[in-house]
Amino acid sequence: MEKPSLLPLLDARLPLSEEKVAEATRLAGVPLAQAWGVVRYYPRYRGLPQGRLLVDDPVARARGFARLLEEADGTHPPLGLEALSPIHVRVEGEKRYVEWEGRLIPFKEFRLPFALGHGNRLLPPEPILELAQYEALGGLVFLRRALKNLLAPEAILRAVEEAGLLGRGGAAFPAHIKMRAVARGEPPRYLVVNADESEPGNFKDRFLLEHHPFLVLEGTLLAALAIGASRVFLYVRDELEAAMLGLEKAIAELQEAGLLPVPTEVFRSGGLYICGEETALLESMEGKRAEPRLKPPFPVEKGLWGRPTLVQNVETLANLPLILREGPGTWREKEPKLFSITGDVARPGLYELPLGTSLEDALRKAEGEPEALKAVLLGGAAGVFTRDFAFPLRYKGRLPLGAGAIVAFGKEVDLWEVLLGLAEFFREESCGKCFPCPLGTAVQVEMVRRRERNRDLVHHLGQALKGSLCGLGQSAYWAYQSLLEVEGAA
């Protein structure tokens, strides 16, 4: 990196004063204007909302939101706790706690209950927080091979290509194309793991990071070796403090064991939904407001500090050791995908299912009854309501899979209330850089609030939002439009 990044410098000085901002600015070597723009952008520098906060996710919206809110001082954006929702967090100054089973558990100690995980290939049957344990269960074989030059970068790239691995962050872009593009670029090249999972309804990356750090790191390091990265950053969602600590510990253990071929560090995210957009993410790492860049150039050409950069989702990378172990062909036959299933199902949790599983089967795994549901929200806030239970869950189908969130809503749920939650979420999370998104998401809230069903108006809303700079605005109307379709079908 060319300069010390501004965000960690500010983080080290929380709570901020003007003098501390000025000091961080000096150390980062940036204009005060830039730093002030940053301070007035990210929530933790502006000042977090304080007190007992209801986590405002789609499940909470389905459970009588107004009544729940009466017992809280305010709301908190979704946290990947949908399986436990409704749930509260408490914020006191810089300290944050999850209210769980009658106790206040600091963020840095709170992990999703392990029992939420259901799988066997990507999700081992037990949490693996120690290096020895990971190795005993068959981990590190390929990293060791790569370190001994028994596994060439090209072999890794070829395996990824033959597996046909698609990005698990939501965009489903072929992983090997990005990897090869970066590998072709001029060094120094960087790898940034996008661990900023913020899409409502999703908690797959959170679960992986909290319970399987070595799996994530092995996949990451294999990718780093494959593309010849000189540095690796794990950009982890601000609130996932336990995950960050776990990763730092795991990195130290790997280093100790001589198994860290590339300098690797954890970068605390800016704490906004938009930070998960890959170019906004890079902007925040460079000490700027997390706002999407115009593309092209793409990060594979000009990424972090203008260098070729691979930005890849956690789950995508976690698949690398598996692909190498099973062989791309076998892996591909039943391509494992993690689904976060919550809402009106008996056993909410994280399910590893082969791509192509029908929505109905997925729901039944979680002991949900499709017949008893009004609709499912598929993909998250940037997703759609659907009643197409026969829909095979795979990428590039009729419906967007997103990162794999499935939120089930029973017959009695007021979907407009859920939609209003999503609309408000988008309005709050719109960065404001381009015009359609901040305008359209604000207008959309009013339309949803008055339950506007005028098809023309909703169509025009969509047409304008479609013109947004990034995926946030481009997808912000999907749920609205789909709700009208679901209503029409019902």
Partner 1 sequence: MRLKVNGHEAEVQEGTLLLEITDPPHLCYHPHAETRGLCRLCLVEVDGRLLPACTTQAQEGMEVRTDTEDLRILRRTLLEWLALTTDLSQAPSLLELLKAHQGRPQRWGSVSLSRREREPIRDNPFFLRDYAKCVNCRRCVDACGDGIMGVYALTLEGKGLMAHPTTPLDRPLPETPCVFCGNCVQVCPTGALRPLSMEV
* Residues forming the site for partner 1 (CB under 8 A): 18, 21, 31-37, 40-41, 272, 289, 294, 427-436, 438-443, 445-447, 450, 452, 457, 459-461, 463-464, 466-469
Q: Which is nearer to partner 1, 132 or 294 (CB)?
A: 294
End-to-end CA distance of the chain: 55
User: Quick one: tokens of 350?
Assistant: 């994280």
Q: How far is the CB of 41 from partner 1 (least distance, A)?
A: 6
Q: How many CB atoms lie within 10 A of CB 231?
A: 18
Q: Which is nearer to partner 1, 263 or 432 (CB)?
A: 432
Euclidean distance between CA atoms 292 and 299, whole angstroms: 11
Q: How far is the CB of 17 from partner 1 (least distance, A)?
A: 11
Tokens 């995508």: give the residue: 316
Q: How far is the CB of 147 from partner 1 (least distance, A)?
A: 43
Q: Which is nearer to partner 1, 212 or 433 (CB)?
A: 433
Query: Minimal CA–CA distance to 285: which of 233, 242, 323, 326?
Result: 233
Three-point CA angle 254, 230, 287, nearest 5°: 100
Three-state SS for 422? helix
Q: How far is the CB of 435 from partner 1 (least distance, A)?
A: 5
Euclidean distance between CA atoms 252 and 7, whole angstroms: 23
Q: How many CB atoms lie within 10 A of CB 456?
A: 7
Q: How far is the CB of 231 from partner 1 (least distance, A)?
A: 26
Euclidean distance between CA atoms 454 and 24, whole angstroms: 51
Q: Which is nearer to partner 1, 270 or 343 (CB)?
A: 270
CB 391 within 8 A of CB 398: yes
Query: Minimal CA–CA distance to 374: which of 336, 332, 328, 343?
Result: 343
Q: How far is the CB of 35 from partner 1 (least distance, A)?
A: 8
Q: Which is nearer to partner 1, 299 or 440 (CB)?
A: 440
Q: How many CB atoms lie within 10 A of CB 326?
A: 17
Q: How far is the CB of 464 from partner 1 (least distance, A)?
A: 4
Q: b vs e for 293-304, b when ≥16 Cβ sit within 10 Å of the residue's Cβ?
A: beeeebbbbbbb
Tokens 């600590």: give the residue: 245
Q: How far is the CB of 442 from partner 1 (least distance, A)?
A: 5
Q: Which is nearer to partner 1, 76 or 427 (CB)?
A: 427
Q: Which is nearer to partner 1, 38 or 317 (CB)?
A: 38
Q: Which is nearer to partner 1, 256 or 446 (CB)?
A: 446
Query: Minimal CA–CA distance to 202: which of 349, 418, 374, 24?
Result: 349
User: Quick one: tokens of 454?
Assistant: 């005028």
Judged on CB neighbours under 10 Å (0-12, 13-18, 19+), 392 is: middle
Euclidean distance between CA atoms 223 and 239, whole angstroms: 26
Q: How far is the CB of 478 from partner 1 (least distance, A)?
A: 16
Q: Which is nearer to partner 1, 11 or 452 (CB)?
A: 452
Q: How far is the CB of 18 from partner 1 (least distance, A)?
A: 6
Q: Which is nearer to partner 1, 17 or 149 (CB)?
A: 17
Three-state SS for 196? coil
Cα 469 to chain center, whole Å? 19
Which residues pair with residue 231 across a beta bridge?
190
